[in-house]
Amino acid sequence: MRKADRSQVSMPGGFVLGFSLFLLALASVQCVPIPTVGEKVIELALGSTMSMPLDAEGAFNLHPIDAVVTVDLTDSLDIREVLDDANINYDDLKDITLAGAAYQVLEKDPTPDRRIVNGSVAVRREGVVSPSTLIDPLNIDVNSLVGYENALLSASGVAVINDILSDIVAEIRTGQQAQNTTVTFIITGRSEPVGTPTDFKWELKLYFSILGALKIDMVEF
């Protein structure tokens, strides 16, 4: 008896390879995550300054740089402008602190070896009787000074400034008006040599650190 032939059906190799690649591509598409847009908050430390131009004049040179300067820190710091320049919302302000102080001579004294010795700067907040030392010592070699010279800050005076700044930040964030934001700077010092009049101009500058929260949209997978 004759046995029936069993025919084998075979698929072309190109078709098998193409179908495999199709399945692999389909699996890859299914694994691609869908991107989403989320908000991320980054804290940025910004800077601001406040300058006080001062005249040192005296015929007897007892205390020619003595000066009393009163400023309102709320009006003296360009907080809104600094935040706007960094694209930070005004109500996203986090903190303001005193970061440093420096001084420079704007116009030199006619006496070549003019110097200020035993000087200091104290601060007193409005409503407070006793001042606190902010800079000590303040010694200036007037005609030799080039550019800004960093001043040595005292913790007690820094605390006075920072307390006012803290109240200003609270006002911005809560809307509750800060009280007594005015501070008085009391500057003293003796001029040498004593035989000739003192006549020069100088500047005291304070540096502030302003911390704000910057909100940005980021694509996340």
Q: What is the pLDDT of residues 13-23, one digit of tens each?
A: 555 555 565 55
pLDDT at 5 over 70: no
pLDDT of 9 > 50? The answer is: no
- Where are the alpha helices (H) located in the chain, listed in sequence order? 13-31, 73-76, 79-85, 155-174
Beta bridge partners of 193: none
- Tokens representing 124? 């007193």
Q: How far apart are CA 95 and CA 112, in angstroms?
A: 44
Task: Kindly report, residue by residue over 159-195, the tens digit of the pLDDT.
Answer: 999 999 999 999 998 888 999 999 999 999 999 998 8
Quick one: pLDDT at residue 164?
Answer: 97
pLDDT of 155 over the 90 cut: yes
> What confidence score (pLDDT) does residue 11 get?
47
pLDDT value of residue 219 = 63
Peptide bond preceding 137: is omega within 30 degrees of 0, i.e. cis? yes
The model's confidence at residue 140, banded by pLDDT at 50, 70 and 90, is very high
If you average pLDDT over residues 140-146, what whole number do you get? 94
Least confident of 51-60, 122-131, 137-146: 51-60
Confidence of residue 33 (pLDDT cuts 50, 70, 90): low
% of the chain surpassing 70 pLDDT: 78
- Say if pTM beats, i.e. exceeds, 0.85: no
Compare 36 and 119 and report the one with higher pLDDT: 119
Residues 156 and 51: their CA atoms lie apart, in Å, by 21
Beta strands in the chain (DSSP E): 36-58, 67-72, 93-107, 115-125, 132-141, 149-150, 182-192, 198-220
pLDDT at 37 over 90: no
